[in-house]
Structure 1
């Protein structure tokens, strides 16, 4: 995992909009072309309607015309590294192969590395919809 990806996630985390929970999260992903896209969580008073950091980074990637993630980093100010939520795990699996590394970090320096497949074993894929 490149340190620049963790640094980008740390930097964008500062822009998170989390007035309700106070829990700011940043994510940065690198595409196979080498471009880095970032996202941060954006809350609103109707909690389920917020946007996760990982989803924001994926949306920025897609808006830029890219479709394949090579690696991703997620950071939060928490006692232990925070994994992507279930919905974001599925979003990552849509754009990343099972071998793609995911590094979860804390602002205090703790890290945990996994792959997309380890985060979402038995992922639902487009292959499940084939007839």
Structure 2
């Protein structure tokens, strides 16, 4: 179980959240997927901080960004797609959203690490 949880976290991180959110936004005008993306990545980063799954967090974000970029390139963005995300291009949008999500994740990860350290200290003192 000790190695399974970081693997599960990594696997969930590999979903191209940014691309899926942009696609849903383009198709339906719905911003709900951005919120879902933020909530899922915040929970994953919190879990990563608690169990010290640093590599899952880092590699998962790299794979998620790469697959979002790849799917955007496969889509062969047309003029409607590019115009929808103006003043940015779809690639710039992927980069900006990924960076914003990463900053949010790092904040939550740091808070989770502090909480885990505090919990370990209390457990050591009570022994």
> Greater Rg, structure 1 or structure 2?
2
Larger RCO: Structure 1 or Structure 2 (Cα < 8 Å, ≥ 6 residues apart)? Answer: 2
Relative to its length, the structure with more helix (as a share) is 2
Give your verdict on TM over 0.5.
Answer: no
Q: If the length of structure 1 is used for normalisation, what is the TM-score? A: 0.28
